[in-house]
Structure 1
C-alpha cells in the first residue's frame, strides 16, 4: 500500500488550500462591486470628486459590456473638476475618445447619445464639443421608450435643468 509521511502531507495540503483560497479572491471582489446605473447617474450629477472617482473605479474593475462609454463620459465630467488646464484637457480628450468610439460602434444606443448630450451641454465652448447637441437631443427624445428605466429617470431628472432637453420632450 501507498503511505505518506505526515511531514510530507501537511505542506501539500496547506498549499492546495491556499491556492483554492487565492483563486476565489478575484471572483469575490468582482461579485461585490457591480455596475449600477442609478449609482452611476447619481455620481455623474455630483460634483464630488470622491464620488466620481469611486464610480470610475467600479467601472474600470467591472466586466460590463460597453463600459468604455460610461468611463469616457465620467472622465469628461471629472475633467471639469480637476486642477490644471493641461490635466483637464488630457482627461477630457481621453474620455472623449472612449465615448466617441463607443457611439461609433453602437450608433443606435440612445443612452450613449444621452451621455454625450449632457457633456456637450456643459462643456466649455472653447473645446468645440457641441456639434451634435441637436442631433443627440432628437435621438434621445425619439428613442426614449427603448431606454432602461434607470436611464429614463436620469433623463427626466436632467431635463428639469437642461437648456436642451425638457420634460415635454418625453
Structure 2
C-alpha cells in the first residue's frame, strides 16, 4: 500500500516542484532589471536564489550580487559584492558556454559595470552569440529583456 502511494504521489510532487522552479525563474527574469533600483527586491531575490543549485539561477545570483554592489554603502563591500557576483557568472558561463540566458546575464552586467572595474572583455562576443541564437529563446520575458539590452548595446 505504501509503495503504491509512493509510486503515484512522487511523480505528482516532482511535477509541482519543477513547476515551482520554473515559476521562480520567471519571477527572477521579470524582476531582474527592477532589482537594480529596488534594494529590498534585490536582497529577496539573492536570498531565494541561494537556495538552488541550477546553473541559470546561479548565474542570476551572480548578476544580482553585482547589482547589490550598487546598494552597498561601503566601497570595500561594493567591490567585494561585485567580484563575488562576477566569479559566479564566470563559473556559470564556464559550465554552460552555449547557454543564451547565462550569456545574457554576463552581457547585462558587463554593459552596466563601471569601466574602471575592467569587466567588459566579453561584450562583443556575447552580443554576437545572443544575436545568432536569439530565435532559440522560449521565454517571452527573457526575449523582451534580451531585446531591450541588445537595443542599448549597439
Q: Does 1:90 align with 2:84?
A: no
Bigger shift: residues 148-157 or 107-116: 148-157
Unpaired runs of 5+ residues, structure 1, are 1-26, 166-170
Q: Does 1:143 align with 2:143?
A: no
Give the Cα separation in 1 of the matches to 2:68 and 2:31. 10
Q: Is the 8 A contact 1:79 1:92 kept in 2?
A: yes
Give the Cα separation in 1 of the matches to 2:123 and 2:144. 20
Which residue number in structure 1 is paired with residue 68 of structure 2? 78
- The alignment's TM-score, normalised by the length of structure 2, stands at 0.77
Q: Is the 8 A contact 1:37 1:151 kept in 2?
A: no
SS in 1 for 2:54: coil
Which residue number in structure 2 is paired with residue 155 of structure 1? 146
- The alignment's TM-score, normalised by the length of structure 1, stands at 0.70
Unpaired runs of 5+ residues, structure 2, are 1-12
Give the Cα separation in 2 of the matches to 1:59 and 1:106. 18
Which 4+ residue blocks in structure 1 deviate beyond 6 angstroms? none
Normalized per residue, the structure richer in helix is 2
Which residue number in structure 2 is paired with residue 105 of structure 1? 95
Return the index of the structure with the highest Cα Rg: 1
Q: Residues 100-142 of structure 1: CA distance to partner in whole angstroms, max 9, x if unpaired?
A: 0110111111111111111111100000001111111001110
Give the Cα separation in 1 of the matches to 2:123 and 2:54. 27
Aligned match of 2:25 in 31, 37, 42? 37
